[in-house]
Amino acid sequence: MSLLPEGCIANVISCTTPRDACRLSLVSSIFKSAAESDAVWERFLPPEYQSIISKSSPCPPSSSSPSSLLCLPSKKELFLSLCDHPILIDDGKKAFSLDKQSGKKCYMISARDLMIVWGDTPTYWRWTSLPGTRFQEVAELICVCWLEIRGKISTCILSPGTHYTAYLVFKLTAGSYGFECQPVEVSVGLVGSESRKQSVYLDAIRGRRMQYRLGRRVGLFNRSRSLGWQASLPRENDDHHPKERGDAWLEVELGDFYNAGDEDGELEMSILEVRAGDWKGGLIVQGIEIRPKQ
């Protein structure tokens, strides 16, 4: 191996993934030099990265210009910066980043870029700013009995040959209500084709507490297994219930989509609760994130 030219090793490593490149850098000094070269990390960046960066703006609270990314000393530093520090695109309506393991493109659609029924009616929704968000505004639900949120993104800006998963990124206020036991219907699919639907819960913890109290109150808690209640309780590894993110927000999975990349189309995601008719409030929506399925 030590007889191979560094350029040859770099060419082979560039056909792997960022994760593999980091592992291969431990093999030897010549592998380390090849694995950290610009020739390798340029291949891990999307072909249009310069155009994306030149039209972008920084995500709060950063104030540095994203164009300074193009002046970083190495392509590896540029890649890692785009993984750890998303940038705003499309006039601040979307956030763009890269998946650290695969280098695939990730997007978050802001609440302002979503179609929220009655979203511009102050009686039902209000727009506010919160620390720790990627966007200047988030949508806070005051009260509605008809919850309908939809988002769309063009498949041509996603990485081809990639399995994606969409997530609703949200928080619940201390006084939130209406989501304890009532699931919402979510779906992901191409516009004009049938979408796969499923039910998810947005307030899993309070829902579990309510079912526990209800079981004790009616004297049936010890029989909960036979009644099937146990199966409906949230589990940490259950994709139908929210999980806490590293940024202190919650996310719940909306569904999967495979982007072959051989045709243009629009991917649509939806969150609905329109059947029960119960009033609900206290939901804060940051956006919908689309990232490679892990």
Question: Is residue 182 predicted with pLDDT exceeding 80?
Answer: yes
- In angstroms, rounded to a whole number, what is the distance separating the alpha carbons of residues 262 and 151? 22
Q: Are 267 and 289 in contact (CB under 8 A)?
A: no
Q: What is the pLDDT of residue 73?
A: 94
Q: What is the pLDDT of residue 231?
A: 39
Q: What is the pLDDT of residue 208?
A: 53
**Phi, psi (deg, nearest 5) at residue 190:** -70, 140
Task: Give the model's confidence band at 1: pLDDT under 50 very low, under 70 low, under 90 confident, else very high.
Answer: low
- In angstroms, rounded to a whole number, what is the distance separating the alpha carbons of residues 82 and 80? 5
Smallest Cα–Cα separation from 41: which of 75, 78, 86? 75
Question: Is residue 248 predicted with pLDDT exceeding 70?
Answer: yes
Question: Is residue 228 predicted with pLDDT exceeding 80?
Answer: no
CA dihedral (99, 100, 103, 107) in degrees, to 10, reads: 20
Per-residue tokens: 18: 């960022």
Question: Is residue 206 predicted with pLDDT exceeding 70?
Answer: no
Better-predicted residue by pLDDT, 179 or 223 = 179
Question: Is residue 211 predicted with pLDDT exceeding 80?
Answer: no
Q: Mapping DSSP to helix (H, G, I), strand (E, B) and coil, where does residue 190 land? A: strand
Task: Give the model's confidence band at 238: pLDDT under 50 very low, under 70 low, under 90 confident, else very high.
Answer: low
Q: Mapping DSSP to helix (H, G, I), strand (E, B) and coil, where does residue 117 land? A: coil
pLDDT one-digit tens code per residue, 136-145: 999 999 999 9
| 166-198 core/surface letters (b: 16 or more CB in 10 A; e: else) | bbbbbbbeeebbbbbbbbbebbbbeeeeebeee
Q: In sequence order, what E strands does the chain have?
A: 57-58, 87-89, 94-98, 105-110, 115-116, 125-128, 138-141, 147-154, 162-177, 184-190, 196-200, 243-244, 250-259, 266-273, 281-292
State what percent of residues in the chain have pLDDT above 90: 71
**Phi, psi (deg, nearest 5) at residue 188:** -140, 135
Q: What is the pLDDT of residue 19?
A: 95
Q: In whole numbers, what is the pLDDT of the chain averaged over residues?
A: 88
pLDDT one-digit tens code per residue, 47-78: 999 999 998 988 877 766 777 888 899 999 99
Instruction: Supply the DSSP symbol for 90.
Output: T
The pTM (predicted TM-score) of the whole model is 0.87
- In angstroms, rounded to a whole number, what is the distance separating the alpha carbons of residues 143 and 148? 12
**Phi, psi (deg, nearest 5) at residue 72:** -65, 150
pLDDT one-digit tens code per residue, 149-175: 999 999 999 999 999 999 999 999 999
Question: Is residue 4 predicted with pLDDT exceeding 90?
Answer: no
Question: Is residue 216 predicted with pLDDT exceeding 50?
Answer: no
Better-predicted residue by pLDDT, 105 or 275 = 105
Q: Are 35 and 44 in contact (CB under 8 A)?
A: no
Q: What is the pLDDT of residue 122?
A: 96
Question: Is residue 226 predicted with pLDDT exceeding 80?
Answer: no
